[in-house]
Chain A
Amino acid sequence: MQWLIYIFLIPMVVLIGGGIIGLYAKGVDRKFAAYYQSRIGPPLRQPFYDIGKLMQKQTIIPENAVGWIFSGAPFVALASSVILLVYILVPYFAWIGDFNFFFSKSGDIILILYLLMIPSIALVAGGFASGSPYATLGAQREMVILMSTELPLAVTAVTFAWRLSHVAPGASHFSLVTMSFHPLWSGMGPFGILGGMLLALSIAVVIPAELAKIPFDQAEAETEIAEGLLAEYSGKYLAFYQIADGVKSLAVISLAVILFFPNGFVQMTGYRIAPAGYDITLLLDVVIFMVKVFLVYFVSVTTVRIAMARLKISQVAKLFLVTITVMCLAGYVLITLDPVIRTL
């Protein structure tokens, strides 16, 4: 019966914790963006104020919208983001903290790639269902972005799995925990390191596209197509989308951190911290992980979104389907060649 409790309890904890941290991350993002533009910027709690306000406002369902899809999509987006976060974070921290329970064997990267699509698909369904031409246009753009980012992500997943099959035969190669257990950079020659850097760079470009941030916010372009997908959403549903966005950004960036910088305190130093018999290493690991997440968020989302303008949708498709995919494939080839070259 214990696993039943886990199944209900853990998503609840992740929903609340992930929601709070995700929204704070959004606040930090806005603050840093303001610093970049030499403004003071809103307080860190600004996203919470926004949610609080949206919750109090009238929620309008347009007359020519398909009601049940329109009102169901925000909940699907939120629920799938939370499940995504559960599958990414819980096995990782179970591994870091040396727990062994229900979730510690789950977290398959193929499953995560598909879960990653569901919030976007919910957005697309909501956009098509809202019966506004702007939302339809935004939904079409979101579909294009969704399809073009699939390929680099899939190549990255395959690369990691291939490497694991080489480094750790016998382990489950598609499991995120195995990937954290054998970090990409350990035991690699210069070719492998170069390939890993190419993969990391392409994932850094994929992150803003997954989170619909400038330069890849074509689907929600506020000045161009009146917020696109979200054009008809108001009140509570918009608030749910905001929370889902926070949770999803935390999930996507955690995925990048787990893939590329998985080391916890014990792996970095080889010590455990236990003053007066209490093992606080896990707490320290959570802090280290959060620092990494905020750093990656700052570098690959905030900086990029301040420094760049919005691309055209055709440019986005071309960028991901050609440039980034080729980069990923080059990384794949380099990582594949690495053990061959070293044995020569």
Chain B
Amino acid sequence: MRIRKMKKSFKRSLWAFHINTGSCNACDIEILATLMPRYDAERFGIKLVGTPRHADVLLVTGPVTEKIRDKVIRVYEQVPDPKLVIVIGGCGSTTGVYQESYAVTGPVDNCIPVDVFIPGCPPRPEAILYGVARAWEKLEKIMKEGSKNAS
């Protein structure tokens, strides 16, 4: 019962913290487009928050540069459990056009565990919403496993 309630609350309220690890700003604008009237992600209780302490979801954009690697790890550790990481854009998924650059240590899953990749340069808002839906599925799975372990 508790788990079911929990899933519902989580499904209806995902707070996202957005971290830019050296992206070109296109993915960041697409995230904002997802929140704007046309797609209105706030319908589903998704909103951007200003600090990782409030977040459930970490939206990471950009290939991880050398300089920001430690900060990404630190922000990931600041997010309270249970948490999800969604990588938005081709750079974060595969380092894209920055492959073999001397300044890049990415992709993102080199430094933090990633739950969902949303490829695209930049991905459309529909793709981002689809990615969030997949993240919910993953969250459900994590919670089922958690309840099994608890029992």
Residues of A within 8 A of B (CB): 30, 34, 37-43, 46, 49-50, 52-53, 56-60, 134, 221-223, 225-227, 230-235, 238
Contact = CB atoms under 8 A, between A and B. Distances in A.
Given A39-B40, A40-B43, A58-B80, A53 B9 contact: yes
28 contacts: A30-B42, A34-B40, A39-B36, A41-B40, A41-B42, A42-B42, A42-B43, A42-B45, A46-B45, A49-B12, A49-B45, A50-B9, A50-B45, A52-B13, A56-B6, A56-B10, A57-B81, A57-B82, A58-B80, A58-B81, A60-B78, A225-B50, A226-B51, A231-B53, A232-B53, A233-B53, A234-B80, A238-B53
B51 A134 contact: yes
Q: Which 8 A-B pairs have the closest CB atoms?
A: A222-B50, A52-B9, A58-B80, A49-B12, A53-B9, A49-B13, A234-B53, A39-B40
Given A58-B80, A225-B50, 10 more contacts: A34-B40, A40-B43, A49-B9, A53-B6, A53-B12, A56-B10, A222-B49, A227-B54, A234-B53, A235-B80
A143 to B, nearest CB: 20
B56 interface: yes
B42 to A, nearest CB: 5
B45 A227 contact: no
Interface of B: 5-6, 8-10, 12-13, 15, 36-37, 40, 42-45, 48-51, 53-54, 56, 78, 80-82
Contacts of A41: 40, 42-43
A249 B126 CA distance: 36
Contacts of A227: 49-51, 54
Contact of B13 (A39, A53, A60, A223): A53
Given A34-B40, A53-B56, A230-B54, A46 B80 contact: no
Nearest to B6: A56
A37 B81 CA distance: 33
Contact of A234 (B5, B13, B42, B54): B54
A43 B81 CA distance: 25
Nearest to A221: B50
Contacts of B48: 222
Contacts of A232: 51, 53
Contacts of A233: 53-54
A41 B40 CA distance: 7
B67 to A, nearest CB: 20
A38 B45 contact: no
Contacts of B43: 39-42
B135 to A, nearest CB: 14
Contacts of A59: 80
Contact of B37 (A39, A58, A230, A238): A39
A60 B53 contact: yes
Contacts of B5: 52
A150 to B, nearest CB: 28
A74 B94 CA distance: 43
Given A57-B80, A57-B81, A57-B82, A238 B54 contact: yes
A39 B35 CA distance: 9
A11 to B, nearest CB: 27
Contacts of A30: 42
Contact of B9 (A38, A56, A58, A230): A56
A227 B52 CA distance: 10
B13 A50 contact: yes
